Amino acid sequence: MTSKTTNPETTGDGNSLDRRILLKGAGAAAGGLALGSGAITGFPLVWAQNVKDVVLRQFGTGISAQPAIMDKAQKDLGFRVEMAGLDSNAIIQRAITQPDSYDIADIEFWIAKKVFVAGNMQPIDTAKIKLYDKIVPLFTTGKLTSDSKVAQGTPPHTVGYMAGPTSRAFAKEQTKWATILPLLYNADTLGVRPDLFKHGDVMSWADMLSADAKGKAAIVNIPNIGIMDVAMVLESAGLATYVDKGNMTTDEMDKTFDHLGKFKRDGQFRAFWQTFQESVNLMAAGETVIQSMFSEAITAVRVQGVPCRAQPMKEGYRAWGSGLGLSANLKGLPLDCAYEYLNWCLDGWVGARLGRQGYYSAILETTKANMTADEWGYWYEGKPAAGDILSPTGQKIDAAGGKRDGGSFSERMGHLACWNAVMDNDRYLLRKWNEFVSA
């Protein structure tokens, strides 16, 4: 047996993981795995032999479904994680209606709110997640620091825990049983063409309604996300007020759509986009100058040589977060492997890789250890780059002196207005949205 089982990426930085602790529980569950082969890091040979045929099927957003991550996981863990990327509509269908088709679901927290009620996923036993107590408190308490305010919408901690291992009800407070393990998250804002739309360094969401944005603004056509961008805009413009933008009353919705319909009729909007690629095309072709946009789409516009920025807004950001969850069908050795994989995802290598694409990771310490000081300064601390900042594939993202839009991690994630959400009145929301689109 010559299979390589050491973990070169995490040695030497003080973060190398001792997997034996985990393995004890795992071995018992798997039934008679020989333990104590003497290795300090890496797996005992028997484990390596047992898991080499294991394949875990993961699906989710395209963000984490990268061949490089798959290959690295196989190299470090000894088993294969197959990853497939889908759009959010397909993700939610698959998670709910085809639980046999996956082992690990990479889903957003607002999607978890729907999926876990359906009972097709099993909660994660956080005792088996070694670094669980290192997770950014945003996900466990909803607060970045003890004095920050919980943002509106569906904050991850409200759908982050189940009452028990077989419960279908979310727990109000942190429990031992987590729904999904936070993997990556970000604070989204409107994307702007700084060359065509000049409103200063810090703008307001209300700038989307300004005269020079007429016919050149766009909103995301995913109803439960688009409505929140609209609410940010209307609230900033003083046209509407909300108790909770992420969970509106039908009355608040009526008022919102009255305004929105009027702006549509007046030709304020160029389009309502639904896919990543559409949003990139609108911006790159100059069809829009200010619009709802996800951070990776802004990077995609820049790669084409077109200036585009994630515009810092004085009213704050709309946050989203996604994580990994376990299918209810997962048991035995594959389940143990899945826990191994979850732990590996928090080791820092994945966090650093996704960090170079602009995403934040759930555990800052391990990510920092896997980045260069310049990378960490640029992506997390809002410092000017000392040298070229490269993407994971080697494309130049920024030159020396360049700074990340919106500043540091704490400035961005500490300035959240709301989280992506599912509303209690989502059925009513959809009816109003469909009416608005057709009108």
Partner 1 sequence: MAIALGIQPPSAAVQYLQAAPLALVLGAFLVIPLAAIVVVSFWTYDGVMPAPGFVLDNYRLLLGSRGFWLAAANTLKFAALTWMITGILGFALSYYLAFFIRSGAARLVLLIACTIPFWTSNIIRMIAWVPLLGREGLINQALMNIGVVAHPIDRLLYSDFAVVLAYVQLYTLFMLGPLLNAMARIEPELLEAAIDCGASQWRVVREVVAPLSRTGFAVGSVLVLTLVMGDFITLRVMSGGQSGAIGLIIYNEVGLVQYPDAAAAAVVLLAAVLMIVGAVLRFVDIRGEI
Q: Does 427 bind partner 1 (CB under 8 A)?
A: yes
Q: Does 244 bind partner 1 (CB under 8 A)?
A: no
Q: Does 438 bind partner 1 (CB under 8 A)?
A: yes
Minimum Å gap between C-beta 439 and partner 1 is 6
Beta bridge partners of 322: 108, 184
Q: Which stretch binds partner 1 (CB under 8 A): 57-65, 195-203, 296-304, 431-439?
A: 431-439
List, as one string, the DSSP characters of 36-98: --S-SSS--HHHHHHHTT-EEEEEE-TTT--HHHHHHHHHHHSSEEEEEE--HHHHHHHHHH-
Minimum Å gap between C-beta 169 and partner 1 is 11
Q: Does 260 bind partner 1 (CB under 8 A)?
A: no
Contacts of residues 196-203 at CB distance under 8 Å and 24 or more positions apart, as own/partner, are: 196/286, 196/289, 197/289, 197/290, 201/312, 202/312, 202/313, 202/314, 203/311, 203/312, 203/313, 203/314
Answer for which of 68, 118, 169, 202 binds partner 1 (CB under 8 A) is 118
Minimum Å gap between C-beta 20 and partner 1 is 41
Q: Which stretch binds partner 1 (CB under 8 A): 38-46, 138-146, 381-389, 423-431?
A: 423-431
Q: Does 274 bind partner 1 (CB under 8 A)?
A: yes
Q: Does 169 bind partner 1 (CB under 8 A)?
A: no
Residue 62's nearest CA partner among 41, 80, 86 is 86
Q: Does 92 bind partner 1 (CB under 8 A)?
A: yes
Cβ proximity to partner 1: between 119 and 402 the closer is 119
Kind of pairing between the strands at 317-327 and 152-153: unpaired
Q: Does 101 bind partner 1 (CB under 8 A)?
A: no
Q: Does 224 bind partner 1 (CB under 8 A)?
A: yes
Tell me how many helices (H) and strands (E) the chain has. 15, 17
Query: Exposure string (b/e) for 69-107, b if CB count within 10 Å is 16 or more?
Result: bbebbeebbbbbbebbbbebeebbebbbeebeebbbbbb
Answer for which of 88, 141, 158, 292 binds partner 1 (CB under 8 A) is 88
Q: Which residues bind partner 1 (CB under 8 A)?
A: 88-89, 92-93, 96, 113-114, 117-118, 215, 218, 221-224, 264, 269-274, 277-278, 281, 285-287, 422, 424, 426-427, 430-439
